[in-house]
Structure 1
Amino acid sequence: MDSYGYISAIALFIYVAMMLIFLAAKRNQIVNSFLLALLSMTCWTGGSCFMRALLWPNYIFWYHVSLLGLLCLPYAYYLLVNAMAEKEGSIEKYIYPVMLGGLFLLNIPDGILFHWPVIVHSGENIRFVYDKIDWKSVIFFAAAGIVVIHTLYNLIQCRKKNRKYARQMNIVIAGIVIVLGGNIALMLPVFAGFPIDILAGLINAFFLVYALAQRNLFEVTLLVSETACTVVGFLISVLLFWFLTPYLRSGMEQVLPGREDYYMVIYSAIFMLCVWILMEVWKHVISNTIVRDEAYQAEVLREFNTSVSKSLSMKNVLQELVEVIRKGCHIETVYICIASGEQGYQMMYSNNPLHDRSFQMKTDNPLIGWMRQNEECTSLDEFYHTVEFKSMWESEKQQLKNLKAQWCIGLKNEDGLIGVVFLSDKEKHKKVGSQDRAFLNSVATISSIAIKNASLYEKISEEARTDELTGLYNRKYFYELLHETFEENKEGTMVLAMLNVDDFKLYNQLYGMKAGDTALRRIADIIRASAGSSGIVARYGGKEFAVLLPKYDVYAAKLLVESICDQIRQMHQEGEMVHLKQLTVSAGISVAPYAAHTEKELLDNADLAVYHVKHQGKNNIYIYDIAEKELEKKNKEESNVQKNREYDATIFALTAAIDAKDHYTFSHSNNVMYYATSLASEMGLDEEFVEIIRQAALMHDVGKIGIPEQILSKPGRLTEEEYEIMKGHVESSIEIIRHLPSLNYVIPAVIGHHERYDGKGYPRRIAGEDIPLSARILGISDAFDAMISKRCYKQAQPLEKVLGILKEEAGKQFDPNLVPIFIQAIENGKIKVIYDAGQNPA
């Protein structure tokens, strides 16, 4: 057999082996197109080989088989390139097979376009001479050339549009050029008798396999099925035995001369032995190269899936992800970036604690956009040649290159790209192969689900331990953190600061719950930003915040709390809160171990410090000192008695001030005090509540000190502007009362005494039972005295008419349950009516 025959036989064997392997692979459009290309090359090579061997039925038949393969090859390439470029077929998809098939059928009877060769005998050798090639042959090859040119055009266009497949496209283009070059080289005398076209086709086949492997287009498990291994081993044995036959015959003639009857038996035994040995060797090689690695990766993947499906910790999932990549692919370095809201994609985990964790990418980073479109593990070298990479800032390019990563995988779910994994090459500078990429794609799919579950769990956990309104830790979780921090800092100092918002109930009563919630959120933001990462901030109560400061000293803590208090006082100086009253806080500081030896002492002492500030006038900071504890306890009772005396003196001083400006307001407050306390007693309320009513009645109009006298003494009806000014006396009263220590308890009655039961009153327009009971009592008493008394702008009304008005307004302006009690008490004489001097009781 000459060199042409040997090379053709080898190429034919390789083509058949490739076909068997790819027939067992997972089928898709690209694999199907490649199988057609392999079949075409098999027909071309096999037909040429069998034609030269003059096999049955005749060489002309094998010539046509070879020609058919040569014509089908361009069309197979056309389909393959369209599939790789993910391009829908056009009308040429149907025109080309008809055109090429028609020319082939036209040529069969007489070889009118491309005639079969003539056999020329030269001694023992034969040659095939194409002596009938003329201008009509150009038509034959021009048709195939059109398909080749169109295929090359599609390749180039795909390469321009999709740069990430540029390397694979370059390989395919090189393969086509080699095939064309090999066929053209046949015309050169230097290649006379040498199968340069067959060799070029063989090289092209390997180029195609490499290009498809780069795209990871087939599954390794199916490539190495037992049937494929058996058939390939058998073919290798047949080919080897064919090559060795002449040498075997020569050896047997020397060893057993004249014993031709035994030659067939010996041939069969040797053949069976060769087949068995080569098949076993082939299976062993495959098992120890591909199957073993794949089985190992499959086992690692199963273990990983089982492990992460049971974990709800993000840290554990990321740690398992790094370990499975390093274990399954022997990757040297792994970085994981996870989406974190507006911050983009932040480096969350890597296999080396010394790696730079500051790496992050914004959501509009071109690499992120590129990863959203890419479904598989991809080389960053491809990205470096894309338009997206060129559009990045130089700082972003340098930051990416500093990672020294060669591969990246997107972690995706139905919400989009949730993370990116960056990988270096394998250990010992080995490259990541197609089998590794298939493994990594599977890992990414499993990880995406696990990360989503862990994120949902951590989100639920975060919601359970944070305050819904402010986003700070809640009280329950703060206790856990306090315990952990106290245990960790037994050898050091720790400061606990409590900040209680002053008069916050009043703030809510004045402006409503919505404004109060806004203020709490602003305060929480100020405290959180001020404490930063060095402190633990929690919403300890409705209007109270706790700041735990490990390793702080008293001086540093006091400076921090002073800064927080100043910022809270100033937050109403701009924005939507500019017209609202200023808020302040009373802050208490406790320090361990100097003023507390246990967690409970730390909390109790901080609360006591806040209590101290509240009773010293609010809006201040107090540092708890254990040396003052006993003195404070001893003086507490005396202090309370003294303060109660001071409160009464203060109340009478204020009412005297009102009397100096408006005698009617002073006498009116005394009358309302009598009616209100009488009604409260008639209702059976306890003495403490009656005392609150008494003080509230005396103070309810104290804000009229700030009303101009011309409005207070105006004889006629007030204008709308004047009435609005007059209505402001309620808030003025509250503003005065809030500066009186421990008189907060009268505020609900004072602020609500002009509210109506039907919700049409002021200043808050609340209704029904939402109005405090003390305010409803005060409202009836205030209105009754106003109607029964003479004023500068009206005469006193008769008692019967006043009582009738009360009955009519029950359920509208007044509480319908209290009006009957008040009227019955007046009619029974239990409540005496106070008339002005000279007024006729009738």
Structure 2
Amino acid sequence: MGTYGYISIIAMLCYGFMLLMFLAAKRNKIINSFLVVLLGLLFWTGGSAFMRAQFWPGCEFWYQVSLLGILLLPYAYCRFILAFGGKKSGVPGKIYLVVMLLCFWLNAQYGIFLESPNVVDKNGVSTFVYEIKPAIVVFFIPAGIFLIYLFMVLVQICKENPNIKVQYEPVVLGILALFLGNAFLGIPIFSGFPIDILSGVVNVFLLFYALIRRRLFRLQMLASSSLCYGVGFLFSILVFLNIVPFLQKIPGIQPDKNMTVYTLILAIIFLVIYTFFTFLWRLLIRSVFIREENHQAEKIREFNSAISKTLDLQEILDRTIRVMKELMDVGNIYVCMQNVPGESYRGVASDQPLSDLAFALEEENPMIQWLKEHEEPIIYRDFRYSVEYKSMWEEEKHQLDKNHTRYCAGLKDGDNLVGVVLITDSSAKKRLVYDEVELISNITSVASIAIKNARLYENACLEARTDEMTGLLNRKYFYEVLNEEFEKNKEASLALAIINVDDFKLYNQLYGVKEGDLCLQCIAGIIKSSVGDSGYTARYGGKEFAVLLPGYDLFSARNLVESIAKQIFVMNNRRTDMKLKAITVSAGISAAPYAAKNVKELMENVDLAVYHVKHSGKNGIQVFDTMFRNNKNENTTNREHIYREYESTIYALTAAIDAKDHYTFSHSTNVAYYATALATTLGMNEDMVEIIRQAALLHDVGKIGIPEYILNKAGRLTDEEYETIKGHVEASIDIIRHLPSLDYVIPAVIGHHERYDGKGYPRRIAGEDIPLTARILCVADSFDAMTSNRCYKKAFPVNVAREKLLQDAGKQFDPNLVEKFVECLDNGTISLVKAEEA
């Protein structure tokens, strides 16, 4: 058969092998057109090989098959080029096909263009001699015209879509290789060498490479079952044809003696060879491709499972980077995210903790625009040939080039591009692996869904914790932040300020609700910009704002609040459309651990400070600080004036109590004495001492509604009567609640029967959750009850009452307050109120 025949058979096997692969591939126009090219090459090569081997049914038949393949190739390439560029097959291709088939039929019938070759025996070697006729130009002229048309179509496709120009390079090189291979047949040095067949093999492999670059074919397709059987069959035929001559020389299996045995032996040998090659191919594919594919599939499953269980954006990005690094041989990976549409895409994550993320990609960047419009990643080496790349600024190109950018992929939330993944090479000469593009696409698709869910969750959380009108934190979430920051700052200072807008109801009445809402939004903007990243801001109530300042002391917090108040006061001066009244605020400030031991106490102290400013005439700032006593700068006269306004109301209520039950009145005045003495000893400022005095006078005002027979009953109370007595706390609150000027005493009054162990009433709160003022009243109230004569008991001696206080410290009473109260009894700071004074 000679060198020509063997190379032809090898080429035919290669074409058949690729044909089997593409038969196992997913169907589309490009794959189908490539199959037509393979069939044309297979006809040409196979016909030429079988003709030279002089197989049945003869040289004439195989010559016609080879000629048909050659004539069909231009049409096959036309279909492939048009499909590769996304174009439909045109009329010229169909005309060429009809003309060539007609010429082929005429030539097969009459041999008028090119007759089959004559077989000449030269030195025992069969040589094929062709008789060239002038009529052969009938083949060449239509083919030449059609090839010129094909070239023009290719140029037009590249002009319309410059991005595809680089993808056509292997196709053009393949066609050029095929043309040169056939042209070199006329050169004497290639006489007798199958250069045309080899050029066909080079051509088809270049087309195969173009399809891989286009990601239309994956090497994992080699593992399909049909391909394994087909490859085994092709190799079996090749080997079997070469060993048959040797089998004929083995004695005992001559075909002319025993045809049945000979056929059976050949069948068994072919089956063994076929089984061996099929098994060998499967083993090779599983070792090289399947194992890697399974590894990738397992890693992606783990990735999908991991990010489906988290809604943390940073964790999603970190896992995305990690899985890419594990599955690809790349340099660095960067993720840039866009927070708000219109902003730049800024670096937020990288595979290297020390990587410089201080770079950004502008939204107008042509590469960003390309990623927005396409779902697939960018192969940067191919992108450099595109119009988009040429329209980029030189600085943008340099930023991508210096990092040896390899791929760029988009992270999408619906139609919005929310992030960009930049994948680089460790070296500028790193080769591309086109299967990586599909891998990146799969990973970024999953990551995009996870990012979308994370952002939806983040937005839902933001809406749940944000005030809709002002954009500040709402009250509920502010309490969560306050508790978290209180725990974090136990060893440091934590300042809290409440800013209450003065006369806001009047402002709404004057200018309308819409203008009032605008006023609140402006105030919120001033507070938020003034606080910045130094703390937290919240809408605490309808017209109240809270500011939490971790690490701030009282002095710094006051300076900040003063600045905010000044800005709010002048904010309406900027209005040019209408003249509005100036806005003033009343603000209270306190800090932990200086003035509060827990969150509840901190909030109560700030509220008291705000009440103090409101009752002082508004438009001011009050700092609640129990560490700085007897502040010389305070206006004592003004404070006395404030509380003097409430004296008449307090005495009116206590007089009503006295008229109903003289003991209750005497008891209240005694409790006021003990409580204020204890508060003074604790170092509380004068405002708090006065609040405690007023709370002590009013703490039993609710007993006005209790029947006298219960109040004066000498024996043990029934359960129903005891429940009636317990109701005096809530009755006291109901009375005080209708006196807005005295509502600051409510925390002390409502909690004076709570127990430190949580077994008291009415709210059953415990420990330091009970307001400090209420804990002070509890000690004073109980001590007076024990040391006073009642209709149902005699007064205990002081030493007995003292011991009972100590016994119940930590149970009914705050142990620290009991210790201080007993100390005051012992040193004479607090003395027993005599009966005649009661």
* TM-score between both structures, scaled by the size of structure 1: 0.71
Write the distance in 1 (CA, Å) between the matches of 2:70 and 2:305: 52
Question: Aligned in 2, Cα 1:219/1:426: closer, same or farther, shift over 3 Å?
Answer: farther
Question: Aligned in 2, Cα 1:401/1:481: closer, same or farther, shift over 3 Å?
Answer: farther
1:122 CA displacement = 0.2
1:379-408 Cα offsets, whole Å, 9 max, x none, are 112223322222223333344345543112
1:466 is aligned to 466
1:264 CA displacement = 7.0
2:11 is aligned to 11
SS of match in other structure, 1:573? helix
1:205-226 Cα offsets, whole Å, 9 max, x none, are 1101111001111355544211
Corresponding residue pairs, total: 646
2:98 is aligned to 98
2:198 is aligned to 199
1:642-663 Cα offsets, whole Å, 9 max, x none, are 45799xxxxxxxxxxxxxxxxx
Contact 2:404 2:425 in 1 (8 A): no
Compute the RMSD of aligned alpha carbons: 3.3
Amino acid at match of 1:588: G
1:59 is aligned to 59
1:640 is aligned to 642
Higher deviation after alignment, 51-60 or 609-618:
609-618
Amino acid at match of 1:367: M
- The answer to whether 1:495 aligns with 2:495 is yes
1:212 is aligned to 211
Question: Aligned in 2, Cα 1:375/1:238: closer, same or farther, shift over 3 Å?
Answer: same
Contact 1:22 1:223 in 2 (8 A): no
Contact 2:334 2:423 in 1 (8 A): yes
Write the distance in 1 (CA, Å) between the matches of 2:522 and 2:395: 36
SS of match in other structure, 2:618? coil
Contact 2:222 2:285 in 1 (8 A): no
Question: Aligned in 2, Cα 1:452/1:480: closer, same or farther, shift over 3 Å?
Answer: same
1:278 is aligned to 277
SS of match in other structure, 2:405? coil
1:636 CA displacement = 9.9
1:686 is aligned to none
Write the distance in 1 (CA, Å) between the matches of 2:365 and 2:89: 34
1:181 is aligned to 180
Question: Aligned in 2, Cα 1:98/1:263: closer, same or farther, shift over 3 Å?
Answer: closer
1:335 CA displacement = 2.7
1:178 CA displacement = 0.6
Contact 2:166 2:385 in 1 (8 A): no
1:48-105 Cα offsets, whole Å, 9 max, x none, are 1111111122212211111111121111111111111112333224323222222222
2:659 is aligned to none
1:244 CA displacement = 4.8
SS of match in other structure, 1:433? coil
Amino acid at match of 1:301: I
Write the distance in 1 (CA, Å) between the matches of 2:548 and 2:429: 50
Amino acid at match of 1:202: V
SS of match in other structure, 2:471? coil
2:599 is aligned to 599
Contact 1:337 1:349 in 2 (8 A): yes
Aligned pairs (5 A) from 1:678-697 = none
2:321 is aligned to 322
Higher deviation after alignment, 452-461 or 73-82:
452-461
Aligned pairs (5 A) from 1:283-682 = 283-329=282-328, 331-342=330-341, 343-401=343-401, 404-412=404-412, 414-425=414-425, 431=431, 433-575=433-575, 579-627=579-627, 638-642=640-644
- The answer to whether 1:151 aligns with 2:150 is yes
Question: Aligned in 2, Cα 1:459/1:258: closer, same or farther, shift over 3 Å?
Answer: closer
1:813-836 Cα offsets, whole Å, 9 max, x none, are xxxxxxxxxxxxxxxxxxxxxxxx
1:332 CA displacement = 4.8
Amino acid at match of 2:600: K
Amino acid at match of 1:567: Q
Aligned pairs (5 A) from 1:770-781 = none
Question: Aligned in 2, Cα 1:522/1:61: closer, same or farther, shift over 3 Å?
Answer: same
1:704 is aligned to none
1:125-168 Cα offsets, whole Å, 9 max, x none, are 0111223243x322312322233333333333333433333332
Write the distance in 1 (CA, Å) between the matches of 2:528 and 2:538: 9
1:369 CA displacement = 1.1
1:81 is aligned to 81
Question: Aligned in 2, Cα 1:123/1:623: closer, same or farther, shift over 3 Å?
Answer: same
Higher deviation after alignment, 390-399 or 524-533:
390-399
1:140 is aligned to 139
Write the distance in 2 (CA, Å) between the matches of 1:402 and 1:472: 43
SS of match in other structure, 2:472? coil
Question: Aligned in 2, Cα 1:567/1:82: closer, same or farther, shift over 3 Å?
Answer: farther
Contact 1:329 1:426 in 2 (8 A): no
1:814 is aligned to none
- The answer to whether 1:72 aligns with 2:83 is no
1:438-467 Cα offsets, whole Å, 9 max, x none, are 233223333333322222222112111110
1:532 CA displacement = 2.0
Write the distance in 1 (CA, Å) between the matches of 2:478 and 2:49: 84
Write the distance in 2 (CA, Å) between the matches of 1:402 and 1:635: 75
1:521 CA displacement = 1.2
Question: Aligned in 2, Cα 1:305/1:428: closer, same or farther, shift over 3 Å?
Answer: farther
Question: Aligned in 2, Cα 1:132/1:637: closer, same or farther, shift over 3 Å?
Answer: closer
Write the distance in 1 (CA, Å) between the matches of 2:581 and 2:647: 29
Question: Aligned in 2, Cα 1:190/1:25: closer, same or farther, shift over 3 Å?
Answer: same
Higher deviation after alignment, 327-336 or 42-51:
327-336
Write the distance in 2 (CA, Å) between the matches of 1:454 and 1:503: 43
Question: Aligned in 2, Cα 1:335/1:248: closer, same or farther, shift over 3 Å?
Answer: farther
Question: Aligned in 2, Cα 1:295/1:419: closer, same or farther, shift over 3 Å?
Answer: same
Q: Runs of 5+ in structure 1 lacking a partner? A: 647-741, 746-842
Amino acid at match of 1:523: I
1:167 is aligned to 166
Percent identity, aligned pairs only? 45
1:587 CA displacement = 3.0
Higher deviation after alignment, 267-276 or 636-645:
636-645
